[in-house]
Amino acid sequence: MIPPPIVQRGLFTLDRSLFKKTVSVMALRIPANLTMECKKAIGTDMLLEPKIRNVIDSDDGEKSKRLVLLNLDIKDKDLEGASEGTKNFIKEKGIDVTEAQFNVAYDHWTADEVLRAILPEDLVDEAPSSFTTVGHIAHMNLRDEYLPWKNLIGEIILDKNPNLRTVVNKMDSIDTTFRFFKMEVLAGEDDMIAEVRESGCKFKFDFSNVYWNSRLHTEHERLVKMFKPTDAVCDVMAGVGPFAMPAAKKGCLVYANDLNPVSYKCMLENKSLNKLDKNLVIYNLDGREFIRKAVADLEASGYKGAPPSVPGTKKNHGKGAKKEDTPAVAAPTPAPAPVVLEENSNRLKTFDHFVMNLPATAIEFLDAFRGLFKGREEHIPEPKVQLPMIHCHCFSKSEQPEVDVRERVEAVMGGKLELDSVKLHWVRKVAPNKDMYCISFRLPAEIAFASDVKRKLEPAMESASDAVDPLTAESDEKRQKTE
């Protein structure tokens, strides 16, 4: 490895000219016509550093000679550290071993190496060179002790990542209604409109006014894989649609909602961007209101369940069949109509899945399911099959998260879960003693048909300062390290 840059402690304004260094290295002086044979023979004993030429003109002025630079582990003419193959080649060809020099500058070092040369000695061990990428934006979460160097850090990150145009830092202030953090531009363009591709979908959104976490893409994919193309999915806290868009693209009928008007607007744009006009319905409501309205609207639409064909399905209609014989989109378009039960059946078709992706408060909204299907008992004769699965994200600090999360869910819903349907999935660690989970369970008949629909509050698990969404959870994390 190239030696680190010269230490520049106390630098607050980036001066790239200070990062220059001359490095000495052992070299082989060879005839120019022997260059390819030499490189092949010595292999990894040759200097293999990015942006540095390992074959240069000879320093003795002879145009017919070249210098082949050796790696920095070979420190003297005795060639200690070189392979036997390299030593034999040098001896066989009578090659002169000499010392050479090359220059390195700012561009040769990584962001981490430059920051370690600049920051105070007591801060270099966790130099904040990592970040989360959201489209063209680098999203940092700087600890307080690094804030005096925040603009310098942003400039270095921008320099070292040519695919980025903007570097931002999450600020401590949070919007109390829509649960997103304010962003401060550290370097680059003040352009917060991000474009991201995930799970085969395109997303465009204002990163400064909505919530997006690229680290959750695995969780988005995991849940969407559970859905069958013929399922109806209700996404209660949809954000800009990381669950809703891929599910709709898969063929599911999706009702998606978010209270944040900016998220709602972005979902409408993303719906059009992904050509999902026929099987994605978008709302801008409070979560509890949406749950009850979505169920009523789905019933009123005359929904019977999606037909078996799904987008992208190809059918063989025999020789001479035309492509237009296969419909491009299979899911129905909801429209106001009387409740229609499945043909020749007294059963009611409702949502197959509810997704509740607001970990800090989603459990509190589960009281909306109490009595949700009261009066529909005769139309739901098989509740263990017909009632929906609920996927609720949450946080837990407990050493027994399975018990902790289940008991909190039961306290809010006012009834016991059917244990054979309950699964708790670990999503990610958000702080040293705080993990994010997703609890999945079938809505119990006892709760779905309950007469008492009075809201039951979740017992306080955390202090008010902790009880926030994933953004605030990551604020805990930021005190430990930079994202």
Q: Centre a 10 Å sphere on the Cβ of residue 28 and count the other Cβ atoms it contains.
A: 25
To the nearest 10 degrees (0 to 180), the angle between helices 35-42 and 84-93 is 150
Q: What pLDDT does residue 455 have?
A: 52
Closest CA to 109 of 47, 171, 16: 16
Instruction: Answer yes or no: is 270 a known binding residue.
Output: no
Say if residues 366 and 413 touch (Cβ distance below 8 Å): yes
Q: What pLDDT does residue 465 have?
A: 31
Q: What pLDDT does residue 338 have?
A: 35
Instruction: Answer yes or no: is 433 a known binding residue.
Output: no
Amino acid at 165: R
Instruction: Answer yes or no: is 67 a known binding residue.
Output: no
Closest CA to 6 of 122, 103, 73: 103
Dihedral Cα 397, 398, 400, 403, nearest 10 deg? -100
Rounded CA separation 67/413 (Å): 76
Instruction: Answer yes or no: is 220 a known binding residue.
Output: yes
Rounded CA separation 394/359 (Å): 4
Is the C-alpha dihedral spanning 21, 26, 30, 36 positive or negative? negative
Instruction: Tell me which residues of the chain have a pLDDT lower than 50.
Output: 308-344, 457-483
- Tens of pLDDT, residue by residue over 218-250, are 999 999 999 999 999 999 999 999 999 999 999
Q: What pLDDT does residue 125 have?
A: 86
Rounded CA separation 106/123 (Å): 21
Say if residues 249 and 311 touch (Cβ distance below 8 Å): yes
- Tens of pLDDT, residue by residue over 50-72, are 889 999 999 888 889 999 999 99
Q: What pLDDT does residue 27 have?
A: 95
Q: What pLDDT does residue 381 have?
A: 92
The runs of H, that is alpha helices, within 301-398 are: 383-386
- Structural domains in the chain, CATH included, are 20-108 (3.30.70), 111-191 (3.30.300.110), 215-315+324-478 (3.40.50.150)
Instruction: Answer yes or no: is 259 a known binding residue.
Output: yes
Q: Phi first, then psi: what are they for 59, rounded to 5°? A: -85, 0
Q: What pLDDT does residue 167 have?
A: 97
Q: What pLDDT does residue 242 have?
A: 96
Say if residues 53 and 105 touch (Cβ distance below 8 Å): no
Q: Centre a 10 Å sphere on the Cβ of residue 477 and count the other Cβ atoms it contains.
A: 17
Say if residues 57 and 66 touch (Cβ distance below 8 Å): yes
Rounded CA separation 117/299 (Å): 64
Instruction: Answer yes or no: is 135 a known binding residue.
Output: no
